[in-house]
Structures are given as C-alpha cells and as structure tokens.
Amino acid sequence: MTTPHPSFETIFDLFPVSRHAVRRQRSANLLVPAAITLVATVMVLVQLPIAAALVGLASLALVGAGLVQGRLEEADTVILVGRSPMASIIASSITLPIRGRRPMTILRAGHLAEAAALARTARCDEVIDAGSGALAARAGAAFDTLVDARGLRPTVVSGPEKVEQLLGRIPVELALQDRLLTRIVAVRPLAPGYAVLKRGLDVVAALGIGLFLLPALPLIALAIVLDSRGPMFYSQIRVGLGGKPFQIYKFRTMRTDAERHGAVWATAADPRVTRLGRVMRRTRIDELPQIWNVLRGDMTLVGPRPERPEFTEALAREIHGYHVRHTVKPGLTGWAQVCYRYTSSIRDTKAKVEYDLFYVKHCSPVFDVKIMLRTVKVVVGMKGQ
C-alpha cells in the first residue's frame, strides 16, 4: 500500500485564510494605536510632552498604515458562474451605479474550474453560482478549495440568494423553490432568545405608547367627531398567525357609510377618507389603537400587515405562496410598508407579498430594529398611506 504524497499546501502551510481572521487583524490595527494614544495622554498628564508627541506620531503612523493595508485588501471583484438569464439580471443589477457602493468588476465563468482559475487572479469576496441545477450539485468540493489572490476563501452565494440581496424581496417564483420557506407548514419557528426578546419589546413598547397616547385621547376623539359624524374607533376582522382571524382596532379615518355596499379595496386617493383621516393615515396615527392587539398577543410591532379575510381568499388564489406571510405574527409596521408604495391592485400586492416573504425568511432582532427606524422616517416625513 503506497503512502500518498503530501501536497504543496500541506508542506508550506498554504491554507486559505478565513476572512474572520482578516477582520480581527483590521480591528487590531485600530485597537493598538488607540492604546498607544492612551499612553501618550497619560504622558502629557505627567508632564512628559516630548515623549508624548513621539508616541502620538507613532500612533498616527500605525493608523495610516492600517487604513492603507485595509484599502489594499478590500475586494474589488465578483465572480459570476453561469450563463443563465438569472446571471444576466444579477450582472446588470450589480453594475448599476448606486451612491455609497464601490464599483465592482464582474468576472464571468461558465463552470467551476474557470471560476477557481479566475479567483486566484483577483481580490474576490464572493462567488455567485447562477448556473444550472447540475452545476449546483457539483459545487461542493470545487467551491471548498476555491481561494482568491489574497489567500482568502470567497463566500459562495446561490443565484436566488443574490437576487434576494439585490432586491430586498423574494420573487414569488423563487419563493416556491426556497428550501426554508417551503418547509414552513403553519408557523415559522423563531429562535427561543429572539422570540422572548420580540415579545418583551412588544409589551414594553405597547405600554409606553399607551401611556403616551392616553392624555391625547380626548383631543383625538374631539377632532374625529368635529371632522365627521361617527365613533372614534372602528374595528375589523383580520387574518393573523396561522391564518386565524382576530379583531383589529383603529382610529376611524373614513365616513361611517364607507362600506355600505360591502368590503372595498382602499385606493391612494380614496374619496371615503375624511380630511383628518388623510393626516392620520400619512402619520400612521390611525394604527395606534392596535397596541391593544400587541398587548393581547394578536400582533407584534414588526411583521406583515394583517389583511381582511375577504381579500385574503382572493389574493391566495392569485398569488402563489401568499399563505406563507401568515406563518409569522402580523405587525404594526413591516418591511413591505417601509419599502413599497400604497397598493390597490393584485400586481402591487404581489410585490408587497414578496417583501413580506423576505421578512419571513430573514426576520431577526437587527432586522426588526432596521424596520422600526425606517418607520420613524415614514411617520416624520408623513409618507404613510
């Protein structure tokens, strides 16, 4: 039995370096100068100005060297594997000029061997596999040994995942093939820590908003009554977690006879909305009574907006995968609300559903905070509908 010869990589320790190690090195490049600066400050306090100046100059030199090194190490290339229509869409999206995003060079490869050869000649953090199903099936071993010019192992992203990243939503056609979304049956399981944190934040925020809103209730009630005859609140049945119906509460923004002929889809310039109602909708004030639904657990702060059963049935027939948005709790605000315009058609609703599917797949504490911050901008800018 012959003993296999060791590879050159084993002999000379030429193993790919993790990008986490590079990040740690960059952090050290900043922390070390910070520590030196602290020492220089102490020297000034003990009246050693010349020594402090020399130490300070050394600190600045280290910071400069670290920044230059970091700039030289930054990736400037993306490798795109495959010649499919999806690959063409991804290539055109990446090359779009966007403020704040560095221009990236796209290297096209028809197969894995070509991608591996291209990677060795470029600083590449990402390889996008937008090829055929057979290509993806063969990806394992080849992608594991793929290394770029810096000795780093690029992240391998599938074509559908890259489309999600670029769009911020999951097209319904791709959602039907998504491994996570297709496995969800009735309720999307959340990590225990995330579920507890989300519920705790719901309760604290709802109580805080309720206490803040309580003194203003008489003024809001008076304004609603003076603007148009009718009650201060109104309620509707909406579809919640797992498709179960619940009662939602809102400040009244329409005339009392708005639905005398049955449920009607609201439009952007709906004549049934009162003058005060338009202001309340733009600032989302009309949604505030739903904090009661949040306290009860019917809703959460961040999630897909709940829809009426009359519309849900029709939308589920028209939009494949629509039911997936019911696998998480509906929210006061959501990713679709802060990303997309007002919807008054099946086509617009399909786009919003795609944003909801993106949230269902990627929901996390950080994502929730991002949506809440964007909601504040919507409220302050009166961009709601």
Banded pLDDT at 145 (limits 50, 70, 90): low
SS (H, E, C) 92-125: HHHCCCCCCCCCCEEEEECCHHHHHHHHCCCCEE
- Pairwise pLDDT comparison (280 vs 261), residue with the higher score: 280
Banded pLDDT at 48 (limits 50, 70, 90): low
Residue 314, pLDDT above cutoff 90: no
Average pLDDT, the chain: 77
Residue 13, pLDDT above cutoff 60: no
Mean pLDDT in residue range 84-90 = 83
Banded pLDDT at 143 (limits 50, 70, 90): low
List of residues 6+ apart from 71 with CB closer than 8 A: none
Residues 320 and 161: their CA atoms lie apart, in Å, by: 19
For 178, other C-beta atoms within 10 Å of its C-beta total 19
Mean pLDDT in residue range 130-153 = 64
Q: Where are the domains of the chain?
A: 8-73, 77-167, 192-256+265-380
User: Quick one: pLDDT at residue 118?
Assistant: 87
List of residues 6+ apart from 257 with CB closer than 8 A: none
Q: Are 277 and 286 in contact (CB under 8 A)?
A: yes
User: Quick one: pLDDT at residue 35?
Assistant: 58
Mean pLDDT in residue range 371-378 = 86
Residues 9 and 153: their CA atoms lie apart, in Å, by: 14
pTM comes to 0.71
Residues 181 and 251: their CA atoms lie apart, in Å, by: 35
Nearest CA among 279, 109, 301 for reference residue 204: 301
Using CA of residue 294, residue 233, residue 245, residue 317, what is the dihedral sign? Answer: negative
User: Quick one: pLDDT at residue 200?
Assistant: 93
For 288, other C-beta atoms within 10 Å of its C-beta total 21
pLDDT digits (tens, 9 = 90+) for 342-354: 666 777 788 899 9
pLDDT digits (tens, 9 = 90+) for 56-83: 665 565 555 554 444 445 777 888 888 8
pLDDT digits (tens, 9 = 90+) for 319-342: 988 999 999 999 999 999 888 866
At residue 150, what is the residue type?
R
Strand partners, 332: none
Q: How many CA atoms lie within 13 A of 246 on its CB side?
A: 21
Mean pLDDT in residue range 298-312 = 92
SS (H, E, C) the chain: CCCCCCCHHHHHCCCCECHHHHHHHHHHHHHHHHHHHHHHHHHHHCCCHHHHHHHHHHHHHHHHHHHHHHHHHCCCEEEEECCCHHHHHHHHHHCCCCCCCCCCEEEEECCHHHHHHHHCCCCEEEEEECCCHHHHHCHHHHHHCCCCCCCECCEEEEHHHHHHHHHCCCCHHHHCCCHHHHHCCCCCCCCHHHHHHHHHHHHHHHHHHHHHHHHHHHHHHHHHHHHCCCCCEEEEEEECHHHCEEEEEEECCECCCCCCCCCCCCCCCCCCECHHHHHHHHHCHHHHHHHHHHHHCCCEEECCCCCCHHHHHHHHHHCCCHHHHHHCCCEEECHHHHHCCCCCCHHHHHHHHHHHHHHHHHCCHHHHHHHHHHHHHHHHCCCCC
User: Quick one: pLDDT at residue 233?
Assistant: 86
Percentage of the chain exceeding pLDDT 70: 69
